[in-house]
Structure 1
């Protein structure tokens, strides 16, 4: 009798310890206002509204009419609203330093050429990235940029996912 009580008590203690772990990972903390503003500025510099259109263009639709309906809804959404709605999810994915450095990059002349190539070019078989000038090459080798670029590239799939989530919400 004493053995069964001990085993039952041990089982309850084990279950109590495992219950919080089984509930899943904790939600990421809410980013502060400075981090959200940095993400907002990054999205504006990246022209996130064009990223939304690209995501809509890559998505599959049962009919051409549904595709056009999604594009029509997307055209009615102001760019500022897209930045606001994406800024909190993006702020959870990138640090303030990364967002600030990448904003600086996308606002540079080379970053503008990269964005133009990204959003305005058709499909190609080879890399058609613009060639940086000597001054731009120096900027691209700065340690702060290299670190931010690496962190941003790691977060980019998640940012594209958040873009798709927002596109889905807008299209409903």
Structure 2
């Protein structure tokens, strides 16, 4: 034990203690009797849950690839009033068409509405969330309206492609068997 710890040692120990305390407080789904323990089935280890989560992952990767290809082909510059003045952000590309946020929001909204049993008010919130994501891109000056509108259209149709490429539990098990 050090009798005269350094400032950095004390700061690091304090940060570690705060991290542990905060992590424990935020672990509201840690076990079934936790305050949000009923949400645990959404983070599933069942075959059906894994199927949905893996297909969502596949859908998101597909979206990144398709948006990247369209942006590379179209090469539309971001709006002239766009400023990269937000703290702790970075831009992965210089192009604005289509809005990747809008494609992912539309595709994820369709995915969630199709694969999670949601009550009507929650369904409205999912659609409102997707709309606000797209609208925020225009408000921030990152995209033109047509970038977002086409992004919504593209994301909507991307979900159809996800359904065609859907990985079934049998396909998942055979793929996992080949990996082992």
Same fold per superposition (TM over 0.5): no
Structure with bigger helix share is 1
- Structure 2-normalised TM-score? 0.29
> Which protein is bigger by CA-based radius of gyration?
1
Q: Whose RCO is larger (CA < 8 A, sep 6+)? A: 1
